[in-house]
A and B are shown apart, each in its own frame.
Chain A
């Protein structure tokens, strides 16, 4: 296989207090592909995606065992600089969460955080990111408007642009369309398919059609385990495990 592994998860266990939410997960995520996590609620998919940029550090009493490697380097090692890790692994959340600032300042926040002060450089990044997120045409004339004043679907694309502005390698998306209407959802799906040319994308979704439409690989989660991971086509047409089959054919979940 010619493709490169971007993220490797090995025997990852995770606890919230005494509750074990992941029971030793193994997973490979390949560069410039879309990997979808599917499975019923509470099965650990959101939990796992949060470990990939260490957002789980924000959760009280959360503890892990096992390894997560990005480009072959353990991201939980003491040598890793957390802010730099998060610059490389961007994230888009379920609810659009733009800052209550102007659209421009939303996009420029990341680059400014990482030391870019030059106005024309920032202008360039803002334009490029908004174009990449396919929202430039809609907002280019009012970049100074508060990002909260636009529609939810637009807000989510602003959040995607904001994540892209720091030039990450990986983009994590935790159910990015579950709070949006169908039209906004299809726009985002289109956008995501476009983005995989430049980024490695990991996406949690409740929507199996969405996973089958846009992802290259799919991992099926159940009760804190990955039951099966494979090419999306294979998972949806000819899964190896009966649980996967039951889930995708709608027999539970």
Chain B
């Protein structure tokens, strides 16, 4: 493809710097600089974020002892063992993904392959609506509906790992649906007709040919879903119970990395506050691993 841009690509080697009338030259140059500065904001922001989170969090981790911090199982105002929250985040995320991804992918299959056109005109905006609903509304809904149900069925407080898992499973649906649907739709139609021509049924062609062909796209939707689940904060804090204890069961309370920060930041100071920022460091590392996985998959897909 021809490069869309002139200035930077403008490399016809013999071309020396073009002298234009002074006025245009000046304007073009200034705006080039302005655009570059704008573009540099992203890097600057990211660098600032990394610096401020890490310089506030890392020293505490080493002062306290990295192993004690990561693998300690007790968290209170003076003892900072993060393992309950790490485990909590991982379990809640796994649960949410395990539940939400199959439902999301199958909903995407429905949208792409089985949905009547007229219905689609309603369902597509519905997915967008789902993506737009603030997490606080989801959290509140879960608090009023899911938590009492769990309390009713299993006893206990209701605010629990199960509640968090169900809530997050719903919250990752729009991400999983949109990306999976796009992946399924991008499978060349010839795959489908080829399978149909071999005598396979409509359903069989879809499930054994089209969906597998979309698997890399579906997989990246899962990775993004993981990112969304592990990073979600305000909705989870409303339903998870938030006891800083090692997860004891689906119907017991749990605290995640994100909620750990929100629960205590309002009144924390000194080493306690740094411990919460250090929680952010751990979360950041998790997210970086997930993002890198996603980026690697995206580049692979592009090839």
Residues of A within 8 A of B (CB): 51, 54, 56-65, 76-83
Contact = CB atoms under 8 A, between A and B. Distances in A.
Contact of B19 (A60, A62, A64, A81): A81
Interface string B1-43: 0110110011111111111110010000000000000000000
A83 B24 CA distance: 10
B20 A64 contact: no
Contacts of A80: 18
Contact of A58 (B3, B14, B18, B19): B3
Contacts of A79: 19
Interface string B82-126: 000000000000000000000000000000000000000000000
A83 B11 contact: no
Interface of B: 2-3, 5-6, 9-21, 24
11 contacts: A51-B12, A56-B12, A57-B10, A59-B12, A60-B2, A60-B3, A60-B9, A62-B11, A62-B12, A63-B13, A78-B16
Contact of B14 (A59, A60, A61, A76): A76
A51 B20 CA distance: 19
Contacts of B10: 57-58
Contact of A54 (B12, B16, B20, B24): B12
Contacts of A63: 11-14
Given A58-B3, A60-B3, A83-B24, A78 B17 contact: yes
A17 to B, nearest CB: 10
A64 B16 CA distance: 12
Given A57-B6, A59-B3, A60-B3, A76 B12 contact: yes
Nearest to A57: B10
By Cβ-Cβ distance, the 9 closest A-B pairs, closest first, are: A63-B13, A78-B16, A60-B9, A60-B3, A57-B10, A76-B14, A82-B18, A57-B12, A58-B6
A82 B20 contact: yes
A59 B9 contact: yes
A63 B10 CA distance: 9
Given A63-B12, A83-B24, A58 B2 contact: yes
Contacts of B21: 81
